[in-house]
Chains A and B, each alone.
Chain A
Amino acid sequence: MALTKIQIVESIQSQTGFSKNNSLEIVENLLEIIKSTLASGEDVLISNFGKFCVREKKERRSRNPATGDEMMLAPRKVVTFKCSGKLKDKINE
């Protein structure tokens, strides 16, 4: 079973007393804050959890594995996650 947004919304509802719709709205607000921060190129650091980083990848040469054709990959930005030491310890307990 995977943890999904709806279950997170339900625990926020039970731990804050906000209605379900209200909790969902607040979670959507939170997600939007995280996404727009990363979209602006800024990292998001959550202490005791980890860090979401925006990294720039340089242009590089690659091959299409199906056809073997060589092509250039354009420079791009990707999001990476660095797990905090606390979270790592918790997972390995």
Chain B
Amino acid sequence: MNKLEIISVLKKEANISKAEAARVVQVFFDNMADALARGERVEVRGLCSFFVKEYEEYTGRNPRTGEKVSIRPKKLPFFKAGKELKERVDF
């Protein structure tokens, strides 16, 4: 299921227009992305939480050539499934 399909199901379920459903989905995920960009945690009860992990610079290896490469510091979001989601997916 992709964003467009979610929008059309939400339109039906919530009885709103397609433009409104698209706006809601956009604002929902933009809010989460903005919070993560600020380094904030995100917590949506029942669905999931996210936090940003910071990695320092390290020396990795190119697995194909075995050459040493230096990996620059980076930040990555970490996902944790919520309790309700976990239980419903693995019933």
Given A33-B13, A87-B77, is A46 in contact with B43 using a C-beta cutoff of 8 Å?
no
Collect the chain B residues with CB atoms within 8 Å of residue A43's CB.
1
Which residue of chain B lies nearest to A4 when distances are taken between CB atoms in the complex? B43
Give the complex CA separation of A18 and B19 in angstroms. Answer: 13
- CB–CB A79/B6 < 8 A: no
- CB–CB A38/B85 < 8 A: yes
Q: Interface size class for chain A?
A: 35 or more
Give the complex CA separation of A55 and B39 in angstroms. Answer: 28
Contact of A79 among B27, B37, B43, B81 (CB under 8 A): B81
Q: Determine how close the nearest CB of chain B comes to the CB of A22; give it in whole angstroms.
A: 9
Q: Would you give 12 A-B contacts (Cβ < 8 Å), ordered by A? A: A8-B28, A8-B32, A12-B28, A16-B24, A26-B16, A26-B24, A33-B13, A35-B88, A39-B85, A80-B79, A81-B79, A88-B77
Which residue of chain B lies nearest to A88 when distances are taken between CB atoms in the complex? B76
Which residue of chain B lies nearest to A33 when distances are taken between CB atoms in the complex? B9
- CB–CB A91/B37 < 8 A: yes
